[in-house]
């Protein structure tokens, strides 16, 4: 079936829905493709808050927020993006409130705010109350509110459609999309004047992750496969310090914002040694590394000394029940641990891709280090790299990113759609997608997609997670080569058309492998430690050689080419990063 929309949005999480709402507000006819029902999107799993210098609890300024974001990103953050963000996120939060978002309130009726990692007052002096929140389900409330507004507006949704290809014309303008309808197995074409990619991250690369099963970097891979579109800063992948032991389910940093403390087996508040000023509220990359080191040096908790304790037992039970009800329930349900009585066992969990599809401040996708725009193609949210988060994202800044840059991308896409006409899709637009499906259904090599994915996730965790070395990354390059070979023989059981999750998971596995390739090669290439990219063999940050963004292109499977993009520095010169 063929469809046509002025603006086509891929993904219905916070960024996609915001882009859709603003494009529709500008008069565009908008269609949204989601591989889920929109309210299932992973924005809904975000817990702790959305940071904005509202100053409702104490003095705060957007400049402080900008500074924290830049410093948190270990100075790889593009400072023009951080400035736009820190200014605009204030209005964005107010606007979410006007849309009906049920924020928690202060006694004076204003939006309540809590402390969060890396967010400080007076340029790093002390933690500041900046995260506007709705209990510990802020992301859920943002997703619900944006979906409510989309329903009100009558935006067209294509639920449970899997995007398999993005179509470009000869001049390199994005003109359409091919997607598989999960319910029927039918391939649909979508012709669009402008396309916004907001399809989220790829945490399922790793064994222990906070990410949904569906987060497999689909559109990043689709573009990367084209060969002429790069991915930016893929080596920077965030591990959130507090995932539930073994499961990786997120426990919000808000738990530490409300006073929770990380302790090792000796009961020591070890973050005092790593970040003497803001301790447990240091940025995530630092806390995750500290936890790894504590465990590595034999001070992990439990019989196998392989986790850290998140201690909330000293908090007023009312704070836990009222402000952190969901994480208390997760701990009780999945670990049988009541956080009122005993500490929660936690480990770092794969959480967020700082890198992704490179864009301008208006979400336009760019294809090289000079910032050459690809006409008709926009991206926002975790799928994109603007680069607001630099080498390490601060907590709460993902939710702000969704609404600030989702809005910018939606508006820019609507402007582009107004100024341009539809371009005819090639006669066999669905050809490559059909070949992909028929290839997978026809394969008889006997390789199980589940087994390949398990090996991928386990080896990525071992060789390319919190700490990295040349040796481990080189080893992982070899492992990936082997996994790509096995993938050629991947065989699925379900040959049917309806709700063929077997097929979809095999396709997603292919996307994951591409993301892994981009990540591992970029990590091997960057010979320094910065933010979330910690090289034991190059432990120092090297501004002289590496204060630049990586752009990785696929030349051929297993073979990549690098280009670089300068970091935009406006207000804050790079300094050593201490907390």
Instruction: Choose, from 284, 289, 408, 453, the residue flagged as catalytic.
Output: 284
Give whichever of 37 and 228 is closer to other proteins, judged by the CB atom. Answer: 37
Active site residue 554: no
Listed in sequence order, the residues at least 6 apart from 354 whose beta carbon sits closer than 8 Å to its beta carbon are 73, 233, 236, 237, 238, 385, 387, 389, 390, 391, 392, 393, 531, 532
Tally Cβ neighbours within 10 Å of residue 149: 19
Regarding 140 and contact with other proteins (CB under 8 A), the answer is yes
417 burial level (CB within 10 Å; 0-12, 13-18, 19+): buried
**36 binding other proteins? (CB under 8 A):** yes
Query: Quick one: 142 or 413, whose CB is closer to other proteins?
Result: 142
Instruction: Give residues with Cβ within 8 angstroms of 152, minimum separation 6.
Output: none
3 or 40: whose CB is closer to other proteins? 40
Is there binding between residue 489 and other proteins (CB under 8 A)?
no
Is 134 one of the binding residues for other proteins (CB under 8 A)? yes
Report if residue 298 touches other proteins, rule: CB under 8 A. no
Helix (H) or strand (E) holding 353: strand 344-353
- Contact with other proteins (CB under 8 A) among 302, 496, 539, 566: 496
**Residue (of 388, 288, 289, 283) closest to 72 by Cα position:** 283
Cis status of the peptide bond prior to 387, with omega within 30 of 0: yes
- CA–chain centroid gap for 22, Å, is 22
Contact pick of 29, 104, 373, 458 for other proteins (by CB under 8 A): 104
Q: How far is the CB of 37 from other proteins (least distance, A)?
A: 6
Q: Least separation, in Å, of the C-beta of 382 and other proteins?
A: 15
97 contacts other proteins (rule: CB under 8 A): yes
CB atoms within 10 A of CB 535: 21
**Which one of 1, 98, 419, 573 is in contact with other proteins (CB under 8 A)?**
98
Q: Copy the structure tokens of residue 181.
A: 């309808």
Residue 574's CB is within 10 A of a number of other CB atoms, namely 15
Binding segment for other proteins (CB under 8 A), chosen from 133-141, 360-368, 403-411, 567-575, is 133-141
Q: Which is nearer to other proteins, 123 or 450 (CB)?
A: 450
Query: Binding other proteins by CB under 8 A: which of 1, 170, 304, 336?
Result: 336
Q: How far is the CB of 102 from other proteins (least distance, A)?
A: 5
Q: Which two tokens stand for residue 94?
A: 């107010």
Cβ of residue 97: shortest distance to other proteins, in angstroms? 4
- Bridge partners, residue 358, by sequence: 385
Residue 98: count other Cβ atoms within 10 Å of its Cβ: 8
Verify binding: residue 268, other proteins, rule CB under 8 A.
no
Q: Give the total of residues touching other proteins (CB under 8 A).
A: 56
Q: Phi and psi of 434, rounded to 5°? A: -65, -40
Kindly tell me which of 301 and 365 has the beta carbon lying closer to other proteins: 301
Sole binder of other proteins in the list 25, 61, 87, 110 (CB under 8 A): 110
40 bridge partner residues:
none
Pick the binder of other proteins from 58, 59, 106, 474 (CB under 8 A).
106
| By CB under 8 A, residue 443 contacts other proteins | no
Answer for which of 37, 306, 338, 439 binds other proteins (CB under 8 A) is: 37
Tokens 């005092």 correspond to 272
Question: Could you tell me the two tokens for 77?
Answer: 């953050």
Question: Smallest gap, in angstroms, from Cβ of residue 69 to other proteins?
Answer: 23
Stretch that binds other proteins, among 146-154, 275-283, 436-444, 561-569 (CB under 8 A): 146-154
Three-state SS letters, 185-228? CCEEEEEEEEEEECCCCCHHHCCCECCCCCCCCHHHHHHHHHCC
Helix axes 397-419, 79-99, angle to 10 degrees: 90
Residue 78 vs 258, nearer CB to other proteins: 258
Task: Provide the token pair at 453.
Answer: 């994915």
Retrieve residue 455's tokens. 């090996």
CB 350 to other proteins: min, Å? 14
21 binds other proteins (CB under 8 A): no
C-alpha–C-alpha distance, residues 576 and 543, integer Å? 10
144 binds other proteins (CB under 8 A): yes
248-267 residues near other proteins, rule: CB under 8 A: 249
Pairing of strands 384-385, 357-358: parallel
Among 67, 158, 206, 330, binds other proteins (CB under 8 A): 330
Residue 334 touching other proteins (CB under 8 A): yes
Residue 498 interacts with other proteins (CB under 8 A)?
Answer: yes
202 to 241: interface string for other proteins, x by CB under 8 A:
----------xxx---------------------------
- Among 462, 497, 543, 563, the residue binding other proteins under the rule CB under 8 A is 497
- For residues 515 and 205, the answer to whether their CB atoms sit within 8 Å is yes
Interior angle at CA 39, CA 355 and CA 234, nearest 5: 10
User: Which spans in 159-283 are helix H?
Assistant: 218-226, 254-257, 271-274
If we measure between CA atoms, which residue out of 408, 367, 385, 422 comes closest to residue 176?
A: 422
What span, in angstroms and rounded, lies between the C-alpha atoms of 287 and 439?
44
Q: Is 195 left (phi over 0), alpha (psi -120 to 50) or beta?
A: beta
Q: Which residues pair with 196 in a beta bridge?
A: 9, 378
Min dist CB 474 to other proteins, Å, is: 30
Q: Is 441 in the site for other proteins (CB under 8 A)?
A: no
Residues in the site for other proteins, rule: CB under 8 A?
Answer: 36-37, 39-42, 44-45, 94, 97-100, 102-111, 134, 137, 140-141, 144, 148-149, 151-152, 183, 212-214, 247, 249, 326, 330, 333-336, 448, 450, 492-494, 496-502
- Tell me which residues are annotated as active site: 284
């Amino acid at each position: 079936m063929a469809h046509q929309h002025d603006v086509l949005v891929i993904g219905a999480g916070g960024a996609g829905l915001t882009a859709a709402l603003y494009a529709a507000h500008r008069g565009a006819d908008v269609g949204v493709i989601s591989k889920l029902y929109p309210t299932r999107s992973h924005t809904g799993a975000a817990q702790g808050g959305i940071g904005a210098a509202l100053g409702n609890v104490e003095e705060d300024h957007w400049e402080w927020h900008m500074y924290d974001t830049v410093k948190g990103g270990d100075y790889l953050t593009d400072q023009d993006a951080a400035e736009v963000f820190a200014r605009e996120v204030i209005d964005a939060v107010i606007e979410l409130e006007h849309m009906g978002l049920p924020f928690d309130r202060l006694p004076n009726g204003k939006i309540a705010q809590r402390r969060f990692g890396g967010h400080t007052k007076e340029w790093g002096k002390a933690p500041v109350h900046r995260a506007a929140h709705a209990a510990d389900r802020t992301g859920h409330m943002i997703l619900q509110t944006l979906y409510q507004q989309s329903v009100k507006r009558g935006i067209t949704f294509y639920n449970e459609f899997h995007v398999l290809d993005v179509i470009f014309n000869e001049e390199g303008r994005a003109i359409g999309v091919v997607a598989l309808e999960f319910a029927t197995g039918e391939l649909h074409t979508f012709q669009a004047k402008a396309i916004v990619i907001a399809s989220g991250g790829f945490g399922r690369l790793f064994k222990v992750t906070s990410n949904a099963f569906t987060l497999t970097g689909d559109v990043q891979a689709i573009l990367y496969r084209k060969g002429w579109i790069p991915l930016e800063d893929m080596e920077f992948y965030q591990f959130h310090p507090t995932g539930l032991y073994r499961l990786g389910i997120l426990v919000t940093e808000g738990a530490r914002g409300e006073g929770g403390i990380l302790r090792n087996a000796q009961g020591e508040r070890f973050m005092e040694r790593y970040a003497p000023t803001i301790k447990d509220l240091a940025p995530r990359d630092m806390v995750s590394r500290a936890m790894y080191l504590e465990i590595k040096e034999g001070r992990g908790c439990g019989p196998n000394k392989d986790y850290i304790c998140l201690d909330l037992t000293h908090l007023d039970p009312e704070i836990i029940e009222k402000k952190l009800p969901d994480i208390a329930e997760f701990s009780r349900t999945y670990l049988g641990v009541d956080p009122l009585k005993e500490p929660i066992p936690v480990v770092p969990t794969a959480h967020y891709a700082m890198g992704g599809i490179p864009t301008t401040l208006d979400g336009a996708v760019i294809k090289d280090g000079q910032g050459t725009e690809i006409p008709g193609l926009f991206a926002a949210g975790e799928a994109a790299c603007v680069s607001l988060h630099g080498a390490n994202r601060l907590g709460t800044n993902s939710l702000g990113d969704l609404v600030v840059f989702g809005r910018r991308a939606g508006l820019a896409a609507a402007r582009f759609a107004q100024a341009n006409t539809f371009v005819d899709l090639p006669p066999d637009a669905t050809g490559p997608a059909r070949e992909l499906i028929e290839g997978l259904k026809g394969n008889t090599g006997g390789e199980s997609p589940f087994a390949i994915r398990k090996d991928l996730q386990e080896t990525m965790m071992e060789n390319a997670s919190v700490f990295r070395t040349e040796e481990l990354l080189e080893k992982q390059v070899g492992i990936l080569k082997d996994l790509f070979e096995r993938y050629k023989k991947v065989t699925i059981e379900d040959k049917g058309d309806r709700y063929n999750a077997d097929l979809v998971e095999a396709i997603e596995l292919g996307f994951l492998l591409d993301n892994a390739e981009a990540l591992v090669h970029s990590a091997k290439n960057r010979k320094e430690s910065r933010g979330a990219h910690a090289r034991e063999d190059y432990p120092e940050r090297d501004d002289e050689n590496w204060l630049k963004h990586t752009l990785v292109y696929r030349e051929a499977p297993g073979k990549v080419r690098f280009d670089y993009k300068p970091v935009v520095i406006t207000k804050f010169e790079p300094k050593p990063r201490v907390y």
